[in-house]
Structure 1
Amino acid sequence: MNEKPTQGDSHPVNVGDRPWQAHSEERAVDESVVAAWSEALAQLRSASDQTSAASRPAPLSRGLTLVVSAVPGDDLAGCLDAVAHQSLAPDHYDVLVVVDGPVAAVEPALHGLTAAGVSVRVMQAAPGMLRARDAGLAASRRQLTGFLAAGDRIGPDYLDRMVAAADPASVILATGAENAQAEATLPTTVTGTVVPTALARRASADDASDGHDDVVFLATLLTTYGCEARPVPLTGPAAYHQDPNVGSGADSRAIDQGPDDFDIRVMGPMSVLRSLDGLSRGCSPSTLALVRAHIDTEVDRINAHLRAHPDDHGRVVELLDAHGFDYFPYERLNRGRARALAVAYCFAPYNDTSAIVMAKRVRDRQDIVDAVFNVMDGKREKDPSIRRVSGPYVENEIAVDTPTYFSNWASIEAFRELGLERIAEIERVKGPYERVYSRVMWTASHFLAAAYKMRNSATTWTAEFSDPAARDVQGEVRSAPLSESAFLDEVRAEVRRRGLPLLVSDNVLDWCEYIAYVFADRVVFTNPNQLEYMLSYAPVPEAAALAREKAVISPHPTLPPAFYSMVEQSYPLDASLVHLAYFGNFYATRGLGDVLTALAGLEPSIRDRIRLHVFTGKATELRKHMDELGIADLVVINPFVRFLAFLNMASKFDCLIVNDAVTADKHARNPYLPSKWSDYAGSGRPVWGLVEAGSPLSTQPLHHASPVGDIAAAQDVLRKLAAIADAR
């Protein structure tokens, strides 16, 4: 590693391949070093500057132009006096004062520079003119440009050290830290920096942030133009003291602007965030760390606003939904704000229907939560994009690392115990939660939530059942054995205290439903049929009666329209045909088999105008059935797509197909509402449901409906859909 020059060096340092860092004991600028630096910069500019020779600005001289910004009332004289007494030779730098006010007002402050032989110019920043940074870069005469504010103060060796550290592709950052790496952050202002002028002019022109934000300008130099951020620790004679009124980004975007400052406190940082997000894509790991550290800072500003104005959260979420951030620290956005706990054994970012539905539920409730879930690495694929659904409403993701099983009692106990420990760690800071929401497909969720509720009786617990837990789709008993435990002893004691009958069962799934019925303050079912069915087989009628009193019907939420265009997918469709789509696993005896059979039986003139597009993870059975029916040329098989891609794909077809689970021979009324319906409902496309009579799906506003198993009815729907092609 190259050595760094330090204060008081008496021997030339080993500079390796960076000759511009050479530093003699007399602290003069070595002309050969400057010439080598100049040649390297000229080569860099020649390779990157595409303008014609006639349109290029005047050649830049060696050395540095120091741009000092000032406004009326600043102690400009104090700053310029320090600039006039620099150890760097006067012929190696000049000063440009950019003043927001009359030039005459600052002329007395210039005398010290003139007397010291330093060339000085003054430029008035008239209304509408580019800010000091841009004006200074445009008027700079040197290969380096540095920036100070009138309130800054520098030691006599400041410019010498900054110039010595410079090279044609670095941004030099003055820091007061002894350890530069400890201060390796992206500054929010250009004051205290030195940049290569030619590249900086181009970066300034590229800065698309509102108000030409300094941090975006610096990030552009680092990302688009490949510069390196090089912090330089400056103390003693080289010290740099920044004006305390400068440096909080976008001219001190303050936290205390008043009640009506959404544009300043949210829109300003959000503009910077969008710019930094775009710049960060594809940059080096070290630069990415700097950019993301500043993204964190900007999000902290928005968090401060939301703490004071929580009603603005919905507006912030709309802004987030409108931009697909590669990186967004939701935990910082919501820091200190979660008063609710979401318990979902499977949760974002795992790509699982249960996780997605719970993410949608968190968003739909619009309640800031800490989310407790199980680590499912190796069991479920991760899809970080699902965080866009729930992330804006999640402060802490509490990942509990226990074995992943659907209803294994040992794994449920482990999740409950470790989950309570992790929750307790957070409660030491914020106290008990006011609300708990748990959802079951995976049964462990309700056991953890019940344990928390028993320890915090004032907390409101809402328990959701997406489907029956103790019965499968055919109405058969689901069973998993449980063992005696201290938790079950606590449950029994509390039940006795309430004067209720005890559940006598060694089945985990029975207990999952029972504890929710008894202890939850609200029990959520997705449809009335599910409620009636689940309560009909409850082994403790008194518990079922309690559940009925506090039951809530709440279908799976549908996401806002913005989600259907977040991840644009390319999928060409022949405009002369009508295109149907089915997303999900294929079962020849359930729903989609009716569509295939109906399609095969249509007259060729109609069926040839139809294409069925199937997105599935299990295509073997489908291919076999297609071959048997002779319709392989009418069906396009695709693999599953991730959730946000699925939403976008769903918006492209002429009709979407959803089917009921076939339950007529086992249930008086179908108790299942497919979660897919909630996603189709927001697509803006017609939906065809293959339904059982009286099912929850049959009551939805379907554009087309046909009974499951009725091939003739399915053919009637296909004929209506084929007519779409005729109308084009």
Structure 2
Amino acid sequence: MVNNRATDREESPANPGDRPWVAHSDNRPVDESVVADWTRALRGARPVEPSDVAPDAPSATGGDGLSPGVTVVVRSGAGEDVTGCLDALTGQERAADGERRDVLVVVDGPASPDVAEAVRRFAEDGRVAARLVDSARAGTLSARDAGLAAARTEFTCFLDATDRPGPEFCAAVLTAAAPTVVVVAVDRADAEARLPTTVAGTLVPTGVARRAAARVRDADTDTGPGTGPDTSTETALAADADTLFLATLVAAYDCQLRLAPVTGPCPGAGHRQTVPQEDLTSGVTVRMELLRRLDVLGRGAAPEALALVRSHVHTEVDRLNAHLRTHPDEHAEVVAALDRHAFDDFPYDRLNRGRARALAVAYCFPPYNDASAVVMAKRVRERQDIVDAVFNAMDGNREQDPSIRRISGPYVENEIATDTPTYFSHWGAIEAYCTAGLERIAELERRKGSYDRVYSRAMWPASHFLAAAYKLHNPATTWTAEFSDPAARDVQGQPRVSPLGDSELLTRAGERIRELGLPVLESDNVLDWCEYLAYALADRLVFTNPNQLDYMLSYTPVPQIAATVREKAVISPHPTLPPAFYAMADQTYSLEPGVAHVGYFGNFYATRGLGDVLTALAGLDPATRERLRLHIFTGKADALRAHVAELGIAELVRINPYVRYLAFLNLASKFDCLVVNDALTSDTHARNPYLPSKWSDYAGSGRPVWGLVEEGSPMSTRPLDHLSPVGDVGAAQDVLRKLAAAASESRSGV
């Protein structure tokens, strides 16, 4: 796998004389021994007292040839008056006798005669060495780097021309200095730990800071996976150069953040004011690029450093949230940026805070690793409606896979996990879920009012019961209910039965159903009521295919409802994710050249399996078999290995354990052909009502798909590259021969 972490670059050693800033072309890799262990625990930010710093603290010079002392870099805009700042520096107290102290005035662009004269007069005073440095180009980024490059001392402190440091400022920050410390001057009345957003008022170890600055510059050439440098984005990001520079020192170079209390307004304090939330003139793309870089910095950082970097992330996401409230049409731009970069821990709740006007009700939902959770996440993304998601906490029944939050997260404000027992159709568990869900929803409604829309999806029946309960309390809410498969019948067409208990919910539902002029269901079966409540009360009904709709209506206990259901019905196959999702979790998987690689993902059931393909492969001639490899990812590997060995094809079949969802998508894009098979229903159904959700995942892989289908099934109507009837081994062998021939032609260069 490719390591996208930016490469550290080291500047050439400082010259003993003046060093006007020039663009560096020396890109030799840094000596890694200079970079401290990234995982070493930080001490945490706090006010520092002189006793905290040992007088014989080790020098930060390393191999940089820097002298003990501090260089104060005063950044000046073109034509900006630096006299007041220089006067304040003249009266600075000293931390120790003989301490070296230099002053550099760095001008953004060519220096004016007035600035040059002010520096000359300051230098003539004799108490402090002073120089004027012209940066090669305008901008605070260039000025900061010019100051670091020209510094002769082991520490560099930054000020702006408008700052007026008190007499104890330099002594305070220098007393707190250490080889791996970023010192931040703070007002004694406001000594709050934080990562600053500007270098003004900070002191840094010069050698490490040069490397951090080079790292930030190097990142300018990498704007994310699948993209090239964006000049306009980099120009706009220059305003955030200090944020990235200081975050890099803390997170990537293991520097401790230490506060140095001083009296009076702190240098740089005016620059630390929060930008108005609605002011996002730099554009959404620029803010997302800043977030991407901060996220990369946080990876591998010690906990304290990670917390500080995330505080910056939260600030930026809060700004995005405020902007999107008034510019919701720009949400798609944010989502596209999120899809391009795999954020380790993005605060989706902050991004969407206060924006959800809809509920997504799914008993199983991300982060739980389950097919029903994945499909509901895809529905949320497809609808592009900001939601509060209500689901059941399934920690004891399903593993968590936080990565699938990337599917639905950009559209979720609040995740509402009810801590109730997890059962498929037990009435007590369903009632507990409904009660807890309504209580949690009511807490949110006290802040935001009733929801305009509710979307529920059942594989798990409890989803529709909670949505129905909410609809009964809020008749004006638009309820859309989806059935992934028939709820009241299993794949063999047999009734699913679970006894119903007394319920205020069903009593109230019955009253509402009568008001609508519909019959009340006379059944004590949970699964019958799951379907009927949605049929009667939902405003819209979603089915994955027409066969499913016809089949479910064929067995409904209330035939009169059929016309109502058809009026509300919408046919919508499971969504396919954008191409970016197939590259989010790059997998290393060996595929030998010159043969056709066929992939299959899934378990084997009595009604759904890969028997045709295995039997067909075993019956092929040896030359054809040698040009084929079957790769199976399943949760029942041991039984499959025994069966494959019996068929004599163990050397042709590679059996793997299940992989997580995003890894599955990436692997699916690597094979020459993917196999998907229909459930076997011909003995129990007039027409197959099932459309495998795997089809929607395969459809976005860009790879040919081979369907083993029943006649007239929903799968048989899909745009398959290869098709063979279920149970027809000869037809399966024909497909395998075609794949082997194509591999042979490719190997021979035909």
TM-score (norm 1): 0.89
Match of 1:220 among 248, 261, 278: 248
Task: Name the amino acid aligned to 1:137.
Answer: L
Task: Name the amino acid aligned to 1:194.
Answer: L
Match of 1:277 among 295, 319, 322: 295
Return the alpha-carbon distance in structure 2 between the equivalents of residues 127 and 282 of structure 1. 34
- Structure 2, unmatched stretches of 5+, are 1-41, 221-233
**Contact in 2 for aligned 1:583/1:615 (Cα 8 Å):** yes
How well do the aligned residues superpose, as a CA RMSD in angstroms?
Answer: 2.4
The residue number in structure 2 matching 1:163 is 174
**Contact in 1 for aligned 2:45/2:193 (Cα 8 Å):** no
The residue number in structure 2 matching 1:175 is 186
Return the alpha-carbon distance in structure 2 between the equivalents of residues 303 and 2 of structure 1. 33
Equivalences for residues 117-132 of structure 1 within 5 A? 117-125=127-135, 127=137, 131-132=142-143
Return the alpha-carbon distance in structure 2 between the equivalents of residues 105 and 539 of structure 1. 92
**Contact in 1 for aligned 2:600/2:674 (Cα 8 Å):** yes
1:362 and 2:385 correspond: no
Q: CA deviation at 1:14?
A: 4.7
Match of 1:322 among 327, 340, 358: 340
For the residue of structure 2 that corresponds to 1:162, the secondary structure is: helix
**Contact in 2 for aligned 1:343/1:371 (Cα 8 Å):** yes
Q: Which moved more, 1:105-114 or 1:639-648?
A: 105-114
Q: CA deviation at 1:271?
A: 2.1
Match of 2:720 among 702, 708, 711: 702
The residue number in structure 2 matching 1:71 is 77
The residue number in structure 2 matching 1:575 is 593
Return the alpha-carbon distance in structure 1 between the equivalents of residues 285 and 136 of structure 2. 26
Task: Name the amino acid aligned to 1:389.
Answer: I
The residue number in structure 2 matching 1:450 is 468
**Contact in 2 for aligned 1:70/1:149 (Cα 8 Å):** yes
Return the alpha-carbon distance in structure 2 between the equivalents of residues 75 and 447 of structure 1. 70
Change (3 A) 1:591 1:710: farther
Deviations 1:577-633 (A, max 9, x none): 111111000236634011111111122221222111110011233123212222212
Task: Name the amino acid aligned to 2:70.
Answer: L
Return the alpha-carbon distance in structure 1 between the equivalents of residues 160 and 142 of structure 2. 13
Equivalences for residues 328-339 of structure 1 within 5 A? 328-339=346-357
For the residue of structure 1 that corresponds to 2:196, the secondary structure is: coil
Task: Name the amino acid aligned to 1:138.
Answer: A
1:141 and 2:164 correspond: no
Task: Name the amino acid aligned to 1:221.
Answer: L
For the residue of structure 2 that corresponds to 1:429, the secondary structure is: helix
Task: Name the amino acid aligned to 1:197.
Answer: T
- The count of residues paired between Structure 1 and Structure 2 equals 681
For the residue of structure 1 that corresponds to 2:301, the secondary structure is: coil
Return the alpha-carbon distance in structure 1 between the equivalents of residues 266 and 138 of structure 2. 31
TM-score (norm 2): 0.86
Return the alpha-carbon distance in structure 2 between the equivalents of residues 513 and 80 of structure 1. 79
**Contact in 2 for aligned 1:587/1:593 (Cα 8 Å):** no
Q: CA deviation at 1:693?
A: 0.6
Q: Which moved more, 1:650-659 or 1:154-163?
A: 154-163
Return the alpha-carbon distance in structure 1 between the equivalents of residues 164 and 527 of structure 2. 71
Match of 2:60 among 24, 41, 60: 41
Q: CA deviation at 1:680?
A: 0.4
Q: Which moved more, 1:606-615 or 1:540-549?
A: 540-549
The residue number in structure 2 matching 1:194 is 203
The residue number in structure 2 matching 1:242 is 268
The residue number in structure 2 matching 1:651 is 669
Change (3 A) 1:580 1:177: farther
Return the alpha-carbon distance in structure 2 between the equivalents of residues 284 and 202 of structure 1. 19
**Contact in 2 for aligned 1:203/1:221 (Cα 8 Å):** yes
1:102 and 2:108 correspond: no
Q: Which moved more, 1:350-359 or 1:599-608?
A: 599-608
The residue number in structure 1 matching 2:93 is 87
Return the alpha-carbon distance in structure 2 between the equivalents of residues 388 and 477 of structure 1. 37
Return the alpha-carbon distance in structure 2 between the equivalents of residues 152 and 160 of structure 1. 16
Match of 1:230 among 232, 252, 258: 258
Return the alpha-carbon distance in structure 2 between the equivalents of residues 157 and 533 of structure 1. 83
Return the alpha-carbon distance in structure 2 between the equivalents of residues 447 and 276 of structure 1. 43
Task: Name the amino acid aligned to 2:148.
Answer: L
Q: Which moved more, 1:456-465 or 1:293-302?
A: 293-302
**Contact in 1 for aligned 2:688/2:713 (Cα 8 Å):** yes
For the residue of structure 1 that corresponds to 2:283, the secondary structure is: helix
Q: CA deviation at 1:556?
A: 0.2
Equivalences for residues 300-699 of structure 1 within 5 A? 300-587=318-605, 590-699=608-717
**Contact in 2 for aligned 1:591/1:708 (Cα 8 Å):** no
Task: Name the amino acid aligned to 2:296.
Answer: G
Q: CA deviation at 1:302?
A: 2.3
**Contact in 1 for aligned 2:43/2:256 (Cα 8 Å):** no
**Contact in 1 for aligned 2:104/2:130 (Cα 8 Å):** yes
For the residue of structure 1 that corresponds to 2:706, the secondary structure is: strand
**Contact in 2 for aligned 1:265/1:301 (Cα 8 Å):** no
Task: Name the amino acid aligned to 1:133.
Answer: R
Return the alpha-carbon distance in structure 1 between the equivalents of residues 664 and 47 of structure 2. 58
Task: Name the amino acid aligned to 1:685.
Answer: R
For the residue of structure 1 that corresponds to 2:435, the secondary structure is: helix
Change (3 A) 1:74 1:401: farther
For the residue of structure 2 that corresponds to 1:372, the secondary structure is: strand
Match of 1:256 among 279, 298, 304: 279
Change (3 A) 1:517 1:3: closer
Deviations 1:158-215 (A, max 9, x none): 22111111101111122236575xx332221111211001111111111124345112
Q: CA deviation at 1:540?
A: 1.6
For the residue of structure 1 that corresponds to 2:115, the secondary structure is: helix
Task: Name the amino acid aligned to 2:114.
Answer: A
Q: Which moved more, 1:634-643 or 1:332-341?
A: 332-341
For the residue of structure 2 that corresponds to 1:231, the secondary structure is: strand
For the residue of structure 1 that corresponds to 2:455, the secondary structure is: strand
Task: Name the amino acid aligned to 2:591.
Answer: L
Q: CA deviation at 1:141?
A: 2.0
Task: Name the amino acid aligned to 2:425.
Answer: S
Return the alpha-carbon distance in structure 2 between the equivalents of residues 3 and 696 of structure 1. 60
Task: Name the amino acid aligned to 1:271.
Answer: E
Task: Name the amino acid aligned to 2:719.
Answer: P
The residue number in structure 1 matching 2:740 is 722
Task: Name the amino acid aligned to 1:60.
Answer: L
Return the alpha-carbon distance in structure 2 between the equivalents of residues 419 and 72 of structure 1. 61
**Contact in 2 for aligned 1:189/1:247 (Cα 8 Å):** no
For the residue of structure 2 that corresponds to 1:240, the secondary structure is: coil
For the residue of structure 2 that corresponds to 1:438, the secondary structure is: strand
For the residue of structure 2 that corresponds to 1:244, the secondary structure is: helix
Task: Name the amino acid aligned to 2:103.
Answer: V
Equivalences for residues 13-52 of structure 1 within 5 A? 14-15=51-52, 18-19=53-54, 33=55, 36-37=56-57, 39-42=58-61, 45-46=62-63
Q: CA deviation at 1:476?
A: 0.5
Task: Name the amino acid aligned to 2:211.
Answer: R
Return the alpha-carbon distance in structure 2 between the equivalents of residues 563 and 404 of structure 1. 30
Return the alpha-carbon distance in structure 2 between the equivalents of residues 503 and 587 of structure 1. 34
Return the alpha-carbon distance in structure 1 between the equivalents of residues 305 and 44 of structure 2. 22
Question: Using CA pairs below 8 Å that are at least 6 residues apart, which structure has the higher relative contact order?
Answer: 2
Change (3 A) 1:580 1:337: same
Change (3 A) 1:277 1:2: closer
Q: Which moved more, 1:68-77 or 1:521-530?
A: 68-77
Return the alpha-carbon distance in structure 2 between the equivalents of residues 6 and 309 of structure 1. 41
Change (3 A) 1:499 1:214: same
For the residue of structure 1 that corresponds to 2:59, the secondary structure is: helix
